[in-house]
Structure 1
Amino acid sequence: MAAEKVFIVGIGDDGIEGMTAHAVKIVESANILLGPDSCSPLLSADIQGRLETVTSLEELVDRIEASGAQQQIVVLASGDPLFYGTARYVCAKLGKERFEVVPHVSSMQLAFARVKESWEDAYLASLSGLTVIDRVIEKIRTVDTAGLFTSEKWPPNAVAEVLLEQGVTGLQAYVCENLGSPDERVTQGSLQEISKESFGPLNVMILIRPSGLTEPPSKAGRRLFGNSDELFLQSRPKRGLLTPKEVRSL
């Protein structure tokens, strides 16, 4: 007999009330309900008592493998489980065919909705696990819109400080905290203002550059199509013997 599908169900800070009827039905039908401790207060009392907490992705994989094949396993995850979330890891470890993902609204999507900005062309990144963010900063130089999942090491004020230190200016910043919960807060300000504030750990940082003010990419942060003609010694006034840059790059 084929093993039961493992459902990975997204949940937001608005709890079970913010989930679709389909998602709630899946959660209620679970024989085994797994998730982080942070999900517990988001559940109704009867479901809350059935939650078996896990503290790491490795533990989650072990618990799924140790469960019976005919058990209905449901994993709770924050927001969209495939957007910097749980599902990518467990699918890679145990195989995609074993899972069905039921997403909730991502906190990134909620953040852009709160500030009423489109995110279809935005640069999106997670700072979790990064010791340095130079590559992220260089990318931000070249875009009009960026959305960041900040981290304990890189909270919004620290990100703002680094941007200023590296000469990135003209950005409007938004920090969206505790999205979907009663204590939701959106802070708007310049990088200088954000660098002096402190924020809760559950936040998304959005950076918007006024139209037409995108900085040109630095040489370190852009792709060059062949080396510049100025890097070659050429006879003057005749310059026609130099192969065109576009051809040299091939």
Structure 2
Amino acid sequence: MESEGLNQERAALPSHRIVVAGIGPGNPHYMVPAARAAIEEARVLVGGRRALAQFARPAGSGQETMAVTRDIAGVMAFIKSRLVTSDVVVMVSGDPGYYSLLDALRRCFPPACLEVIPGISAMQLAFARLALPWHEATLLSFHGRRPQDAQLAYRPGRILGLLTDAHYTSHTIPAILLAAGWPADTGLYICARLSYEDEAVTATTLGEAASLPEVASSVLVVVAPEPQESTSPEA
């Protein structure tokens, strides 16, 4: 019975693969070679309009393209129809494993038919720009969502990496953290347009952020002061 179920599962797999290629933070220099090769060789290429304009082959080259829109069901139906005859390459910004279309693909297709090529995320690049290790950082997203209050709780020495959007910005997020008890002198790094020629990394504090120009759709790195060592009075 177990063998029969396994055979049925294999029979249900598409005959072709979906290659999910992370294209990095934006600048082509930050795309890994494996992703670039998959995109250049793709017969069917799916991605955001900006990514298609940047990386798709010219019209008439034999590469079919599909732009990702809010109609995710329509995008999934397109991919399914093309898998009958060809592999499909899906471009996602940053790294596929970090807030990307990979979640939707896993809901619609067996993981066994997915090949994922990692990419450099804007979050990774932000920490790299600061020469700051991120293995102990808490990574959260304000992009189209708001983390739970418990996830934003203050603790001395805590480091946050935050994705932002047009609503949750370099003004609104510091206000949220200050209201949650973070000290005003907490370090804040506003990392905007990472990898592009006009990239800007601004060092400030949570308390001073409101006095600076508002920045949206960026990465914020928040570094709480380390706890001060208590000194014992001399005997």
The correspondence for 1:55, drawn from 50, 69, 81, is 69
Q: Distance in 2 between matches of 1:9 and 1:101?
A: 6
Query: Among residues 202, 205, 219, which one is paired with 1:187 in the alignment?
Result: 202
Q: Where does residue 129 of structure 2 map in the other structure? A: 114
Is 1:7 paired with 2:19?
A: yes
Higher alpha-carbon Rg: 1
Determine whether 1:32 maps to 2:32.
Answer: no
Q: Do structure 1's residue 152 and structure 2's residue 166 form an aligned pair? A: yes
1:71 to 83, 86, 109: 86
Q: TM-score, normalised by structure 2?
A: 0.79
Q: Distance in 2 between matches of 1:199 and 1:64?
A: 39
Cα deviation, residue 12, structure 1? 2.4
* C-alpha distance in 2 between matches for 1:102 and 1:132: 28
Change (3 A) 1:12 1:132: closer
* Distance in 2 of aligned mates of 1:58 and 1:198: 38
Matched, 1:211 2:226: yes
Q: Structure 1: how far apart are the matches of 2:155 and 2:210?
A: 18
Amino acid at match of 2:173: V
Please point out which of 25, 29, 32 is paired with 1:20. 32
Q: What is the 5 A alignment of 1:61-100?
A: 61-100=76-115
Looking at structure 2, the residues matched to 82 and 148 of structure 1 have their Cα atoms a distance apart, in angstroms, of 16
Asked if the contact 2:192–2:218 (Cα under 8 Å) also holds between the matched residues in 1, the reply is yes
Q: CA RMSD in A?
A: 2.6
Deviation for aligned residue 1:35: 0.5
Task: Give the drift of 1:44.
Answer: 6.7
Give the AA of the match of 1:30. A
Q: Percentage identity across aligned positions?
A: 25
* Distance 1:40-1:185 versus aligned 2 partners, 3 A rule: farther
Stretches of structure 2 that go unaligned for 5 or more consecutive residues are: 1-10, 229-235
Runs (5+) with no aligned partner, structure 1: 214-250
Report how far residue 42 of structure 1 moved.
Answer: 3.4
Q: Bigger shift: 189-198 or 119-128?
A: 189-198
The 5-angstrom pairing of residues 208-247 of structure 1 reads: 208-212=223-227
How far off its partner does 1:96 sit? 0.8
TM-score (normalised: structure 1): 0.75
Shift of 1:191: 0.8
- Looking at structure 2, the residues matched to 30 and 143 of structure 1 have their Cα atoms a distance apart, in angstroms, of 46
For residue 51 of structure 2, give the secondary structure of its aligned residue in structure 1: helix
Q: Secondary structure at the match of 1:156?
A: coil
Q: Distance in 2 between matches of 1:137 and 1:172?
A: 15
d(CA) in 2 for partners of 1:32, 1:205: 35
User: Could you say which residue in structure 1 is the equivalent of 2:5?
Assistant: none
The Cα of 1:144 is off from its aligned counterpart by: 1.5
Distance 1:175 1:58 in 2: 35
1:59-79, Cα deviation, whole Å (9 max, x unpaired): 322221222422121001001
Which one is further off, 198-207 or 73-82?
198-207
1:166 aligns with 2:180: yes
Inter-CA distance 166–13: structure 2 relative to 1 (3 Å threshold): closer
**Compared with structure 1, are the counterparts of its residues 22 and 163 closer, same or farther at alpha carbon in structure 2 (3 Å cutoff)?**
closer
Deviation string 1:13-39 (CA, Å, 9 cap, x unpaired) is 444343233222211111111101131
Deviation per residue, 1:142-174 (Å, 9 max, x gap) = 652110111222112101012223331131000
